[in-house]
A = this chain, B = another copy of it.
Amino acid sequence: MDFSAPFLTNYWPHLLAAFIGYFTIKFLARSLFGIEITRRFSHEYDPARQLDLERDEDENQGVSGGPQSFEDMTEHIPYRLKKYTEKETFRRAVEFYRMMDERRTVRHFSDDAVPLGVVQTLIKTAGTSPSGAHTQPWTYVVVQDFNLKCQIRKIVEEEEEINYRKRMSATWVKDLEKLRTTWERNVLDVAPYLIMVFKQAYGVGPNGERINHYYSEISISISVGILLAAIQNAGLVTVTSTPLNAGPALRTLLARPVNEKLLLLLPIGYPAHNATVPDLQRRDIKDNHGSDVM
């Protein structure tokens, strides 16, 4: 019984050290846990999983479909959609094809103003996209502030500088120089808006719990496809670009949470009067590398 007092008096520094050690480890564990989460979610896109049937079972929800529990737990309501005549259906399909066939990736922007309300409507349209378990794992950030656009350009250029000096093979240097010129003069500070598309690697529930996002990269890219259609329909242009390693710096600049990763950067505006595009052809549907009917 009475050895506890001398025990405490003799060994209190050890107990104090144990306490400090405990909280240090707890803190480290949290940091490490954060890293583990990142790693864990990085598996979401690991093709090895897509090829490995045995390891794939928990990712089979379908982009819109699942988890099926979501489908089944939610109350269902009737769905109605206007049905066009066969002739009208064909006409609408051809008309929409002709409109989209005029879409090109344009790198030469006019600085003509575009109402913010238009851009927000286009992004609302992107938000109608299906997503795995309706997780809507995208965040669209619209940048219109000129100084912020300049900072974004600076970050992109700095990353390209690092690519240029350290990361690129000799054969890439010339191309990258041209790319930088393109970015500097024609896009990032001329287009009235930059649309930054962030991937939510995981969601955060009402009680702060993490929500898995399955197939989020596919879901977000589908929503960007709908955005491109909306942009073309509005008579505007964009360039679907993947920022050159600038994601982390841009996420910090825009103060996005840690679960968001920059996926795409889309400047948006009207094409410059003297805009040009590469003279390329699209694959014909009859091309045997292309579509097929069975």
Q: Which of B75, B142, B244, B279 contacts A60 (CB 8 A)?
A: B244
Contact, CB under 8 Å: A74 / B280: yes
Given contacts A293-B142, A294-B145, contact A241 B65 (CB under 8 A): yes
Tell me which residues across on chain B come within 8 A of A219, comparing CB atoms: 221
Query: Chain B residues with Cβ under 8 A from A142's Cβ?
Result: 291-294
Given contacts A62-B242, A79-B106, A277-B77, contact A294 B254 (CB under 8 A): yes
Residues of B within 8 A of A53 (CB): 162, 167, 245
Q: Does A2 contact B (CB under 8 A)?
A: no
> Is the C-beta of A14 less than 8 angstroms from some C-beta in chain B?
no
* Number of chain A residues whose Cβ lies closer than 8 Å to a Cβ of chain B: 144
Partner of A79, one of B46, B104, B218, B235: B104
The answer to whether B278 and A71 have CB atoms under 8 Å apart is yes
Query: Which residue in B93, B94, B125, B144 is a CB contact (below 8 Å) of A293?
Result: B144
Cβ contacts under 8 Å, A226 to chain B = 100, 225-226, 228-229
What's the least CB distance linking A241 to chain B, in Å?
Answer: 4
Give min CB distance, A231 to chain B, whole Å: 9
Q: Are B293 and A230 in contact (CB under 8 A)?
A: no
* A92: Cβ under 8 A from any B Cβ: yes
| 15 A-B contacts (beta carbon < 8 Å) | A50-B261, A63-B242, A65-B107, A68-B176, A70-B278, A71-B107, A71-B182, A93-B121, A100-B226, A128-B282, A130-B240, A139-B291, A141-B291, A204-B289, A225-B225
The 7 closest A-B pairs by CB, nearest first: A225-B225, A221-B221, A74-B278, A64-B105, A57-B167, A76-B276, A222-B225
